[in-house]
Structure 1
């Protein structure tokens, strides 16, 4: 059966995206591009000789857990929820990277989508989303998805305080997080130094997603606020020390312990545009067939 198409508009619109998920999936980008480019040579002889017309495809290949990828996921979901997506997107994206990224990969777009799906819809036109509004959505993720470089007990404490509707007493925090008093004592200083935990005047604990050292902290300028990620890391590690943490980090090989500075590096750098992902993080469109048009399906990579 012959295929009819407009020769003045020779690119087909694909009806599906492909998503590749897994450890170091983003490193596959060059190989995938090469395979797609090679497909341009795999056509029937009349097409290759130019005696028969055919339609073409353009396939953008991009890494989804970069800053731009996470911002796009966030913007899409906010618009679906009825929020106005404005200048606050930059701050929200950095916060999500801070809570969800490691030192060598950005936040998972799936985790970001899960957070957004648990957000309440906007109640009026022009409403914007604040950082505090992310807390409930983040609390719906498993504890091991939050601050992945921190020890497990610290992540359970963080999840508990993010999900609390009111500030928690120490006893309630320990009980609801399911950690021992010893674990609480060991990790409380780490979480407060990072800024994830804040104690009110009555001694109750609440979450804080923008710590005082962040460039997004308001009011600004605040005397003593670090100018760079390295300055912020220096201030925090001076407070808690850079001794080896208790037990291996989930992002390290079994039996390998990270220093405190290594544990918090990704959290801090995400506020200062310093998350490293991959050298091939930029979107690269691969043409198969006639010259490309601006639209097309996407092949997405997510670590």
Structure 2
């Protein structure tokens, strides 16, 4: 941990000089985080989304340039760098009350609600076991891998699911493989791409998908920026709203190599959804903006 922060400090000392030389006058420099690991395939979609938002607002705000900070950090650490002007400008995260208070949320759901539909990565030898499940209590008896700082971990635990909290993103795949966790819930927009990337990297120890049952909780994925970065927040919010209104964001979801696995949405009509309540959903969540949210036609479990 100390070495990570030492690397960040070195970067902080040099970043403003680097940015001044990297961009021309009048160019907005947008600093983002890199991929968490080689299996972090959802990063490509986030880059497409922010690029669309910035392109949609060039006439309003001017030219821009996107840069990546040189090292990945876990979400709990990286978010706090948003508080320092000129260091980090944008992080994608699920909202919590603390995050929406501390940082500036851009309240346009990047995955249009599909982030809340969760398939599962499991050990190939346990597919039959998972296929035998008919009610949430069976899944609750097992252990889900989740990021230590992810809001999902709190949400699942509060609703009776057992969770094993993990600091390293890559570790969760291996923990499913070695039995430390029983399953790793992933959004239907990201899990298949992550599975393919992991299995290509580890052909002798693959994981498998399980999507006959989906978990579903109402949770958006927002871009966050620092409270001081109000102009950037306004620009990205306007750009994303335009992308939704024009159908561009949905098209990005349908065409991106990572998120396209969720489409067509009609493919989910044979699946069963276990609803997971989210009592802490912020009142500021734009549920009333119906065109922000996509729905899948799966059957909802009724006890």
What's the TM-score once normalised by structure 2's chain length? 0.25
Greater share of strand: 2
What's the TM-score once normalised by structure 1's chain length? 0.25
